Amino acid sequence: MSRYKKMGLSISVPLILLVSCMQVAQAIPDPPFDPRRSGLATAVLAGGCFWGVEAIFESLNGVKEAVSGYAGGSKPNPSYEEVSTGATGHAEAVLVSYDASVISYGTLLKVFFAVAHDPTQLNYQGPDHGSQYRSAVFYSDPVQKETVERYISALNDAKAYPGRVVTQLAALEAFYPAEDYHQDFLVRNPDYPYIVYWDLPKLKELEKRFPNLISTRSP
């Protein structure tokens, strides 16, 4: 992660920087292909630092659990320090376990692309740079793959963002949970400078744009 996270610096971030760190989609369309399912299902999504992404999905009704971890690389059971070098190929990712009869995979994708991160930033998010912070969706079956493919095409066709979506789409080979101190980091450290400057604004945007999706157990 960036020096902001490791050192916990009390930095002053201009408002214009907070606004420019994420191109908020103003008219993001619904997924054009979103088959309904039932029962417990999982999604693995990467959108920069996993602290904020985890908190976003833990806020949603129908999500049972969100776990920060690593996916997309070649090294088994990587450590945070190893992933942070960018040499493992892994991205900081979040495993979302959800009740598909309450919230659909397509709805998770809509939140992911609308407020969880900026899908037009290639290999970085906000102050964090490197392939370990890339935007990625790791699909576990052909239906998830088709859903993501169609949705990314719809977002680009609708010009939902000033730039094109650069999100990587890859088959999920493995997911490795991150160290315990990364789990529920926002809930346990709401005053941490990085959380205040980069993640809490995303939660505010979630509440503003998707109030009907917020769970009563929201962080």
Question: Would you tell me how many other CB atoms lie within 10 Å of the CB of residue 32?
Answer: 12
**Which of 118-150 are b and which e, b meaning 16 or more Cβ less than 10 Å from the residue's Cβ?**
bbbbebbbbbbebbbbbbbbbbeeeebeebbee
Q: What is the DSSP string of 125-176?
A: ETTEESGGG-EEEEESSHHHHHHHHHHHHHHHHTT-SSS----EEEE---EE
Q: How far apart are CA 173 and CA 73, in angstroms?
A: 9
> Which strands, in side-by-side order, build the sheet including 40-47?
168-171, 135-139, 40-47, 91-99, 63-71, 175-177
CA trace torsion 116, 94, 33, 161 (10° rounding): 30
Q: So which residues are the catalytic ones?
A: 49
31: left (phi over 0), alpha (psi -120 to 50) or beta: beta
> Which one-letter DSSP state was computed for residue 21?
T
